[in-house]
Amino acid sequence: MTPGLPPAGRPIGDLLSDVARMRQDDLPVRGGKVTAYVYDTGRPEVHEAAARAYAEMLEVNCLDPTAFPSIVEMERQVVGAVAAELGGGHGIFTSGGTESIMLAVKAARDSRPVAGRPALVAPVTAHPAFHKAAHYLGLDVVRTPVDPGTFRADPAAVAAAITRDTVLVVASAPSYPQGVLDPVAEIAAAAAARGVPCHVDACVGGWLLPWLREAGAEVPPFDLSVSGVTSLSCDLHKFGYAPKGASVVLFRDPAMRRRAYYASAAWPGYTVINATVQSSRSAGPLGGAWATLQALGREGYLRLGRDTLAAARLLREGVAGIPGLRVLGDPVSSLVAIAGSDEVDVFVLSDEARKRGWFLQPQLSYAGIPANIHITVTGATLAGVDAMLKVIAESAAAARERGPATPPPGLVELVAGLDLDALDDAAFGELAASVGVNLTGGGQPEMAVVNAILDALDPETRESILIRFLSTIYA
Binds ligand PLP (CB under 6 A): choice among 96, 155, 287, 407: 96
Stretch that binds ligand PLP, among 3-11, 96-104, 342-350, 388-396 (CB under 6 A): 96-104
- Per-residue contact string for residues 225-264; x = within reach of ligand PLP by CB under 6 A: ----------x-----------x-----------------
Question: Which amino acid does the sequence have at 450?
Answer: V
Stretch that binds ligand PLP, among 155-163, 199-207, 223-231, 466-474 (CB under 6 A): 199-207
Q: Among residue numbers 266 through 325, which ones bind ligand PLP (CB under 6 A)? A: none
Residue 333 C-beta: closest distance to ligand PLP, Å? 10
Nearer to ligand PLP, 42 or 240 (CB): 240
Helices 459-473 and 448-456, interaxial angle, to 10°?
A: 140
Nearer to ligand PLP, 33 or 199 (CB): 199
CA nearest neighbour of 336 among 367, 305, 360: 360
Residue 205 C-beta: closest distance to ligand PLP, Å? 7
| Three-class secondary structure assignment of the chain | CCCCCCCCCCCHHHHHHHHHHHCCCCCCCCCCCECCCCCCCCCHHHHHHHHHHHHHHCCCECCCCCCCHHHHHHHHHHHHHHHHHCCCCEEEEECCHHHHHHHHHHHHHHHCCCCCCCEEEEECCCCCHHHHHHHHHCCEEEEECECCCCCCECHHHHHHHCCCCEEEEEEECCCCCCCCCCCHHHHHHHHHHCCCCEEEECCCCCCCHHHHHHCCCCCCCCCCCCCCCCEEEEECCCCCCCCCCCEEEEECCHHHHHHHCEEECCCCCCCEEECCCCCCCECHHHHHHHHHHHHHHHHHHHHHHHHHHHHHHHHHHHHHCCCCCEECCCCCCCEEEEECCCCCCHHHHHHHHHHCCCECEEECCECCECCEEEEECCHHHHHHHHHHHHHHHHHHHHHHHHCCCCCCCCHHHHHHCCCHHHCCHHHHHHHHHHCCCCCCCCCCCCCHHHHHHHHHCCHHHHHHHHHHHHHHHCC
Nearer to ligand PLP, 203 or 360 (CB): 203
Nearer to ligand PLP, 176 or 251 (CB): 176
Spatial contact of 97 and 127, defined as CB atoms under 8 Å apart: yes
223 binds ligand PLP (CB under 6 A): no
Binds ligand PLP (CB under 6 A): choice among 34, 119, 171, 204: 204
Residue 328 C-beta: closest distance to ligand PLP, Å? 16
By Cβ distance, which residue is nearest to ligand PLP?
Answer: 97
Nearer to ligand PLP, 99 or 446 (CB): 99
Give the CA radius of gyration of the chain. Answer: 23
129 binds ligand PLP (CB under 6 A): yes
Stretch that binds ligand PLP, among 201-209, 259-267, 288-296, 304-312 (CB under 6 A): 201-209
176 binds ligand PLP (CB under 6 A): yes
Total interface residues for ligand PLP by CB under 6 A? 12
Binds ligand PLP (CB under 6 A): choice among 172, 231, 276, 395: 172
Residue 7 C-beta: closest distance to ligand PLP, Å? 39
Binds ligand PLP (CB under 6 A): choice among 38, 91, 92, 98: 98
CA distance 217 to 215: 6
Nearer to ligand PLP, 179 or 318 (CB): 179
Nearer to ligand PLP, 136 or 433 (CB): 136
Residue 401 C-beta: closest distance to ligand PLP, Å? 34
Residue 466 C-beta: closest distance to ligand PLP, Å? 16
Nearer to ligand PLP, 27 or 387 (CB): 27
The dihedral built from the CA positions of residue 186, 377, 346 and 202, taken in this order, carries a sign that is: negative
Stretch that binds ligand PLP, among 155-163, 200-208, 253-261, 458-466 (CB under 6 A): 200-208
Nearer to ligand PLP, 323 or 459 (CB): 459
Nearer to ligand PLP, 102 or 349 (CB): 102
Binding site for ligand PLP (CB under 6 A): 96-98, 127, 129, 172, 176, 201, 203-204, 235, 247
